[in-house]
Structures are given as structure tokens and as C-alpha cells.
Structure 1
Amino acid sequence: MSGIDKRNRLGEEPFTYQITKNGTVIISYGGRQIKIVKGMEADRLVARIRDVEDIPTEVQLLLAKITGNFKRGNEMLGKKGLD
């Protein structure tokens, strides 16, 4: 996994999740809700989380992947400019 999380961002555990009574999974990043997963996709996600819940970085990786194309690591280039 070292090749995936080169800057150890997942070790900081930025993602959190909440499973509601009806099985919906609410994923947050830095305290802000970013994705809601419902239905069969939520069922599969919960099963995968339970398989690796003893390894926090693996849970973080699952949550990062389910959010899609999120936080590639090049955000600062847009803020600072290319000067």
C-alpha cells in the first residue's frame, strides 16, 4: 500500500463514515459530507469495511476509492499558480 499513499494522508484518517438505520452510508471528509451511498452499493461497501475494519488505513483507502476521483494531490498547483 505504500505506493498508493505516498504522502501518508490516509494515516491521518481524513474520511469518516456513518451507517444509517436503513443501510445508507454517509461519507465525510474533514467533517464535511461528500457522498451518500445507497442500496446494493452501500451493502457491498459495508461488507468490505467490516472485512478490514481492524486496519484503519485500509478503511480510509476504501472510503477514498468510493468517493471517486477525489484528492489526487495536485490541488496546490491550482491555488498557487504555475509561476
Structure 2
Amino acid sequence: MPRPQGFTYATHPDGTVRITHAGHPATTLRGPRAQQFLDEVKTTDPQLVMARWTGNYKRGNERTARNHPRNRH
């Protein structure tokens, strides 16, 4: 599976973490979830962690979608 790309995150003074994908807001984490995310992103590949936390990761149907007649070019 290809590695996700384009995710960034920013921490704010109030403890909020904002995750963006390709410059667009993907999710905002606050409180204990934000701290859990920051702990996890230190120990694992940040791109994979952010993809998982935002729900924006490969679902296994990409090949089927690519082969659908409306997606053929």
C-alpha cells in the first residue's frame, strides 16, 4: 500500500491540534484525544497516523473504482 502524503498538523497554545490534508482542514482534536495523537505521532510514521486519525486512508476498493467504466480515460 502506498504511503499517504500531504498531511500536516499544527498545535495551538490551547492544546488543540489541527490536521490538514493538501492545505484543507481535515480534523481538529482537543483535550485527551489531542494528547493521544501527539504521543502516537512521535513514535510512528506521522503521515500514516494522520491518515488514520482523519479516516482518509486506503479502503481497498481503489482498484475496483479505477477499473469502473466511468473512470477509464
TM-score by length of 2: 0.73
Deviation string, structure 1 residues 15-68 (Cα, Å, up to 9, x no partner):
00001111111001111111001110001111111234xxxxx11010001012
Structure-2 residue corresponding to 1:60: 47
Higher relative contact order (CA 8 A, sep 6+): 2
Greater radius of gyration (CA) = 2
Q: Among residues 14, 31, 54, which one is paired with 1:22 in the alignment?
A: 14
- Residue 9 of structure 1 deviates from its aligned partner by 3.8
Does residue 81 (structure 1) correspond to residue 73 (structure 2)? The answer is no
Unaligned runs of 5+ in 1: 1-5, 53-57
Is the Cα contact below 8 Å between 2:3 and 2:48 reproduced in 1? no
Query: RMSD of aligned C-alpha atoms?
Result: 2.7
Q: State how many pairs are aligned.
A: 68
Could you list the runs of 5+ residues in structure 2 that have no partner in the other structure? none
- Matches of 2:20 and 2:71 in 1, distance apart? 30
